[in-house]
Amino acid sequence: MEIRTAVEEDASDACRVIRRSITELCISDHQNDPVTLTSWLSNKTPEIFVSWIKQPNNSVLVAVDGGIILAVGSVTDAGEINLNYVAPEARFRGVSEELLEALEARALQRGNVRCTLTSTETARRFYRDRGYVEDEASVKKAGIFGYPMSKSLTAKRL
């Protein structure tokens, strides 16, 4: 598996991974509510994905195996992780963990000593198990609860 910077040509496949991850793996968050799902998925389009790639101060990464995108992540130069989604068939294979480590490494390269994110209920334990702590009470956005979390970064951890 290779983790690399996303390119425009990845947009359709990357969005498919993100949308399937949300739809199939985050059921505890959206409860199969069509309104919540529509809201959550509304900006997960190839056109918007390309705009994320082009944003200054943003790094979009993909985990690829045999030419197939298995996971998609994004981190800003300020150390905020905005995306970390895995294809359902790649879940529990270490892909998300490797992608998270790459996002943290990118944040560290950009001079950050801390990463922040807002976790779904589905991913909450995943992040806690990797050293993230909840910073404040949950917030509700687009019909789902999010959990603001952060982690101190050190070169030896990565």
Q: What is the pLDDT of residues 31-55, one digit of tens each?
A: 999 999 999 999 999 999 999 999 9
Contacts 24+ apart (CB under 8 A), 39-48: 39/142, 39/143, 40/142, 40/143, 40/144, 44/15, 44/18, 44/19, 45/15, 46/11, 46/12, 46/15, 47/11
Tokens of 55: 């944003």
Instruction: State the burial class of residue 41 (Cβ atoms within 10 Å of its Cβ: 0-12, 13-18, 19+).
Output: middle
- DSSP annotation of 33 reads -
Top CATH class of 2-152 equals: alpha beta
Q: Which of 15, 20, 151 is nearest to 89 (CA)?
A: 20
Q: Greater confidence, 155 or 147?
A: 147
What is the full DSSP assignment across 86-153?
E-GGGTTTTHHHHHHHHHHHHHHHTT-SEEEEEE-HHHHHHHHHTT-EE-S--EEETTEEEEEEEEE-
Reported as a pLDDT band with limits 50, 70 and 90, residue 157 is very low
Q: What is the CA radius of gyration of the chain?
A: 15
pLDDT score recorded for residue 139: 84
The pTM of this model reads 0.92
Residue 97 has pLDDT above 50, yes or no: yes
What are phi and psi for residue 70, nearest 5 degrees?
Answer: -105, -25
pLDDT score recorded for residue 65: 97
Question: Strand 80-86 to strand 114-119: parallel, antiparallel, or no bridges (unpaired)?
Answer: parallel
pLDDT score recorded for residue 134: 95
Reported as a pLDDT band with limits 50, 70 and 90, residue 22 is very high
pLDDT score recorded for residue 155: 55
Computed over every residue of the chain, the mean pLDDT equals 94
